[in-house]
Amino acid sequence: MIEAHAAIERWPTAQPFTIARGTKHFVDTVLVTVRAGETEGRGEGTPVYYRDQTAAGAVAMIEALGDVRIDRTAIQTLLPPGAARNALDCALWDLEAKSERASVWAIAGLHPPSPVTTALTLSLGDPGTMEMAARAAAARPLLKLKLGGDGGDRDRVAAVRRGAPAARLIVDANEAWGGLDIEAEAAALALLGVELIEQPVPAGEEARLDGVRARVPFAADESCQTRADLDRCAGRFEAINIKLDKAGGLTEALALRTEARARGFDVMVGCMLCTSLAVAPALLVAQGCRWVDLDGPLLLARDRTDGLRFDADGRVWPGTGVLWG
């Protein structure tokens, strides 16, 4: 019998974290612990706020399972995609690995993971502020910029390019370009060396991209949660951003990666604001992906004491020992 326990944890951000939808000073995550005898597995989920998920709601979902038999297959239908299923799914993977004295990657039939280079996200701000942030991070190979869709995004990107002339740049509009000339915006950003534009239009309004011929590929974030969303992304986005909180766990994230690649999509792997406990399983999905954005712990004031290793050169290393070893 597997017992599951869920608790809310609050993690302050290192700096106010601003995107087109607002500013965050902390994030509430859900820690799920599962036990079978003396063996324990852990998983973490961050509620997808733009889908009206909350930490309290995620905990309630876990508690509502009661005495139902819990395993990775069952929870794919017992729980909807989101933070609750993600945290529980990852905890069950962790529990199985520790019970079998094996690694999660081996149980999943994957190759041993290698370190990957993650983007560092620059919070939305005025051009001067973003240029200063870019200068402070200029040594990093990949920067991700939050944009606002307010007519000032070209100036923001130009400022960041001045601050970090050698860095690769990707940008995230967070659905804010619905009222702009998307093709013209993309053309302007291409001249500044931007190599990917995430979610230019609101989810549900993907038809705005029909006929758009952009020099920079678009990635579906809010528009792609699980495999069920790939049909409406086809022909409109060249890439998808897989996040375990959106997909509802490592199980669905791996399946989504496989199907997306089979259908010709490039793959990006991202995360919400989170600790290393959430990034550790995402690193398995990120292997071999074109873009990686797993900097959640770097945006917090502190990480878990058994957190992952993040190097100054942008590399993040797979977990060992107590954290997803």
Q: What percent of the chain has pLDDT over 70?
A: 98
Predicted local confidence at residue 323, as pLDDT: 62
pLDDT digits 0-9 by tens, 109-127:
999 999 999 999 999 999 9
Mean pLDDT of 84-99: 97
C-alpha–C-alpha distance, residues 225 and 246, integer Å? 5
3-state secondary structure of 107: helix
Mean pLDDT of 72-97: 96
What is the rounded average pLDDT for all residues in the chain? 95
Could you list the residue range(s) of the whole structural domain that residue 172 is in? 116-316
For residues 248 and 299, state if they share a domain: yes
Mean pLDDT of 212-236: 96
pLDDT digits 0-9 by tens, 146-164:
999 999 999 999 999 999 9
Q: Is residue 218 part of a domain?
A: yes
Measure the N-to-C terminal CA separation of the chain; round to a whole number of Å: 24
User: Pick from 53, 73, 102: which residue ends a domain?
Assistant: 102
Predicted local confidence at residue 324, as pLDDT: 62
Annotated catalytic residues are 146, 243
Predicted local confidence at residue 69, as pLDDT: 85
User: Domains in the chain: how many in total?
Assistant: 2
For residues 182 and 256, state if they share a domain: yes
CATH of the domain at 205: 3.20.20.120
Predicted local confidence at residue 322, as pLDDT: 54
For residues 68 and 175, state if they share a domain: no
User: Pick from 78, 102, 126: which residue ends a domain?
Assistant: 102
In the structure encoding, which two tokens stand for residue 192, read together? 């500044």
For residues 67 and 204, state if they share a domain: no
Whether the Cβ atoms of residue 92 and residue 34 lie closer than 8 Å to each other: yes
pLDDT digits 0-9 by tens, 264-280:
999 999 999 999 999 99
Q: Is residue 147 part of a domain?
A: yes
Q: Is residue 323 part of a domain?
A: no
pTM for the full predicted model:
0.96
pLDDT digits 0-9 by tens, 199-216:
999 999 999 999 999 999
Own/partner pairs for 259-265, CB < 8 Å, 24+ apart? Answer: 259/227, 259/230, 260/227, 260/230, 263/230, 263/234, 265/230, 265/233, 265/237, 265/238, 265/239, 265/240
For residues 178 and 63, state if they share a domain: no
Whether the Cβ atoms of residue 195 and residue 170 lie closer than 8 Å to each other: yes
Q: Is residue 78 part of a domain?
A: yes
